[in-house]
Each structure stands twice: as C-alpha cells, then as structure tokens.
C-alpha cells in the first residue's frame, strides 16, 4: 500500500526536487499520482520589512507524508547558508502545523556535517542541526554520504530515524557504465592498472570500498593537518603495497571543498609518475579557490578528470568553468528512496555493497540513467 504523499522543497532545492518528481512519476505505480505528489511550488517563503522570515504552505497536507527537499549549501537560488538553514527550520514547523502525517527531511548534502567533533571548545554544528530538526517534529532524515559514520549516533533513533545512503555507489556504477563497460576491461585493464587512493587516513574506508568493489590496489595518503588554521595541510605520506608508476589513480573522497587537500595530495603523487590522476567524490562543494586550483592542475597535466554528483548545485559543470568535470545525477536514486518510504518497503537493497564484476555481468539488475 502506498501512503498519500507530496514532494515539497525550500527555495534552495526547488529545481532538484522538480527533477525528482519527474523520476518518481516514471514508476508505473506512481503514474496516476503525477499531479498529487508534486507540491514543490506550494511552499512559499515570505520576508518582513525587518528581514524576519515566514514560511507558508498553500495546499492541504493533513494526514499526508511530506518529503521536504532542502539544502544549506550552495544553491541555484543563491540563498546564503544560514538563511537557507533557518528557512528549512521554518518549513518543518509549517509542515508540522499543517498536520502532515510524517515529515521526511531529505537533505542530500548536510553542509554542517564536518562540524561533528565533540572533544574541543567549539559548537558542534551537526548536533545543533539534528537536535533542532527533531525538536521541531522531524521523525525521518534522509541524506547522502555523511562525513563520518559517528554522525548518525547524534540522533536518538527512538525519536528520529537517520538514513544515510552511500552515494558513492552511484559513482561506482558510473565508472562501470562509462569507463569500463564489460568484464574483460575490468579484468585486463582495471585490476592490473588502476588504483584507488584515499585523501587521508580517515578516508581509507571510502577508498578501500572502491578498491574492493573493483578488485584494484589501494593507496593510502597519511595527511598531517595544521589544526590551528582551517583547510591547511602540513605533510603527506603515501603508503602503497604496489608501485604507483604507470597506474591510473582515482582519488576518492566524500567531498571536495576548497580542493586544498587534493591539490596537496596530487603534488605528493605526481613525482611517483602515475599514468594519470583523477578525482571522484560525492559532494562538489567547490568553495573558492577550488575551481582555480582544479583548473590549474588540469592545465599542468596533473589532473585528468573530476567526477562528482549533483547533491550540491554545481554552476561549474560547463566546459568553460572546469573542462574535465563530470556530474552524475542522483535524482533517480532519490526517487527510489521516496518510493520505498511511501510504500513502507525496505531500502536495504540500496545499502548493499557494490561489486563491479556482478554489475557488469548482469547490468539488467540495475537501472542507470
């Protein structure tokens, strides 16, 4: 049985949510709901003369499941981070007052996810964000690739569920579809000639997942940070069981912000003479001067390609901005998650480890955009 539901969005995610609606209505069981599930434009944000905010809902939501798409990161509407965050809180409050049955807070990229350390004299932004959402009535949070597994433990599961979907699977499938294509290439080219590299010791798990999925070697970069200054690296040591020379290297990370870490890492990897260096990451934050750094690396012949998803709005996805950038859509995956939630079905199949050999031998088991 499918619950009655609507898809809504704050100003920061209206374009993304509209694309998700298009994907949702492609499912046979949802075709008849094409008009009723789409309420993206029904949520409006008003501003008072003194700058205060009020979110208003222009449709009935009583007894319905509401999937609210929102983002506090860079967005097409150019809403500043803190304004977007306050708007999302107002939206949840408005939904609760509208007597929605369930509020599913869908935030593909949680911008405060790196503010998760509790052992220093500072606020913990992620805890503040989660606690605010739960106190306002959110009972289900869905996101993609949180910065650390421990982040999910900040929320009491008896009050609110957190589903952190491993969006790196999207990128693994993309590599198979675009660059590998068949089992022969996987066996003869990828496994002997590719390697997956972590950005730092903390990112080893992400890179290891890729190495295991493709049966390729793992390279670990041990990064020493200067914690007295943000986004600052002191030194990098490269650990590899095999020679890096001649390898196609893929630097794996959950996000690229200023590109300082990957720039330093590529500087350490280049003298080892790999055949090429690529970056693959979920969240393309690209805070200045990221685009300049990435373009400079490309111009120097040190960086071949950058593959990211669209969890963060990416105005740099044109050849004029970053010529070797490839953006993978996550909207179909978002639609599948919504279908599972409103149908009260398990999402465990979306959480399974990815195996490239299985995927390439049975591509019909997976549908890719």
The reply to whether 356 falls in a domain is no
pLDDT, position 231:
52
Identify whether residues 105 and 221 lie together within a single domain: no
pLDDT at 320: 72
Q: Does one domain contain both 269 and 305?
A: yes
Do the domain assignments include residue 186? Answer: yes
pLDDT at residue number 71: 96
Do 79 and 32 fall within a single domain? Answer: yes
Tell whether 183 and 318 lie within a shared domain. yes
- Torsion, Cα 65 1 38 53, to 10 degrees, reads 0
Report the greatest alpha carbon distance in the chain: 65
Q: Residue 215: which domain range?
A: 168-328
Structural domain includes residue 258: yes
Q: What pLDDT score does 167 carry?
A: 93
Same domain, 149 and 188: no
367 within a domain of the structure (yes/no): no
Q: Is 209 within a domain?
A: yes
For 41-76, b/e burial (b = at least 16 CB within 10 A) is: ebbebeeeeeeeeebebeeebeebbbbbbbbbbbbe
Total residue length of the chain: 369
* 160/270 same-domain check: no
Residue 129 lies in a domain: yes
Q: Which residues of the chain have pLDDT under 50?
A: 364-369
Q: What does residue 163 show for φ and ψ, rounded to 5 degrees?
A: -105, 110
Q: Assess whether 133 and 197 both reside in one domain.
A: no
- The pLDDT of residue 43: 94
Tell how far CA 16 is from the center of its chain.
Answer: 13
- Tell me whether residue 44 is in a domain: yes
Q: Based on the fold, state whether residues 179 and 310 are members of the same structural domain.
A: yes
Query: What integer pLDDT is reported at residue 225 of this predicted model?
Result: 61
- Both 98 and 113 in a single domain? yes
pLDDT at 339: 93
Dist CA 94 CA 63 (whole Å): 14
pLDDT tens column, 313-345: 988 777 678 889 999 999 999 999 999 999 999
Residues 340 and 244 in one domain: no
Number of neighbours of residue 340 by Cβ within 10 angstroms = 16
Residue pair 143/109 in contact by the 8 Å Cβ criterion = yes
Task: Assign residue 212 the CATH number of its domain.
Answer: 3.40.50.2020
CB 127 within 8 A of CB 90: no
Answer whether residue 361 is part of any domain.
no
Task: Check whether residue 23 and residue 159 sit in a common domain.
Answer: yes
How many structural domains compose the chain? 2
- Structure-block tokens of residue 27: 């499912």
CB burial readout 112-128, b (16+ within 10 A) else e: bbbbbeeeeeeebbbbe
Same domain? 186 vs 282? yes
């Amino acid at each position: 049985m499918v619950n009655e539901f609507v898809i809504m969005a704050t100003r920061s995610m209206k374009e993304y949510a509209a694309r998700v609606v298009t994907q949702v209505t492609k499912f046979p069981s949802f075709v008849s709901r094409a008009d009723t599930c789409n309420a993206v434009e029904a949520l409006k944000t008003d501003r008072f003369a003194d700058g205060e905010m009020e979110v208003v809902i222009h449709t009935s939501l009583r007894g319905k499941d509401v999937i609210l798409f929102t983002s506090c990161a860079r967005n097409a509407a150019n809403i500043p981070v803190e304004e977007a965050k306050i708007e999302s809180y107002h939206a949840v409050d408005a939904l609760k007052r509208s007597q929605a049955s369930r509020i599913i807070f869908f935030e593909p990229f949680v911008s405060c996810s790196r503010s998760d350390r509790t052992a220093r004299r500072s606020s913990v932004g992620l805890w503040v964000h989660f606690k605010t959402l739960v106190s306002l009535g959110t009972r289900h949070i869905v996101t993609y690739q949180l910065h650390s597994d421990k982040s999910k433990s900040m929320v009491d599961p008896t009050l609110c569920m957190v589903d952190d979907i491993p969006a790196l699977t999207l990128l693994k499938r993309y590599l198979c579809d675009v660059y590998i294509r068949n089992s022969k290439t996987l066996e003869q080219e990828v496994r002997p000639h590719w390697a997956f590299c972590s950005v730092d010791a903390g990112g080893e798990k992400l890179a290891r997942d890729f190495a295991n999925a493709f049966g390729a070697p793992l390279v670990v970069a041990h990064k020493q940070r200067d914690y007295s200054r943000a986004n600052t690296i002191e030194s990098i040591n490269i650990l590899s069981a095999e020679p890096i020379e001649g390898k196609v290297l893929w630097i794996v990370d959950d996000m690229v912000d200023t590109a300082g870490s990957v720039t330093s890492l590529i500087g350490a990897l280049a003298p080892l003479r790999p055949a090429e260096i690529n970056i693959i990451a979920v969240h393309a934050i690209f805070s200045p001067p990221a685009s300049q750094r990435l373009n400079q690396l490309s111009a120097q012949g040190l960086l071949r390609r950058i593959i990211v998803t669209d969890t963060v709005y990416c105005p740099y996805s044109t050849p004029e901005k970053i010529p070797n950038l490839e953006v993978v859509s996550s909207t179909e995956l978002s639609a599948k998650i919504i279908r599972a939630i409103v149908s009260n079905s398990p999402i465990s199949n979306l959480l399974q480890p990815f195996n490239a050999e299985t995927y390439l031998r049975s591509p019909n088991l997976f549908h890719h955009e």
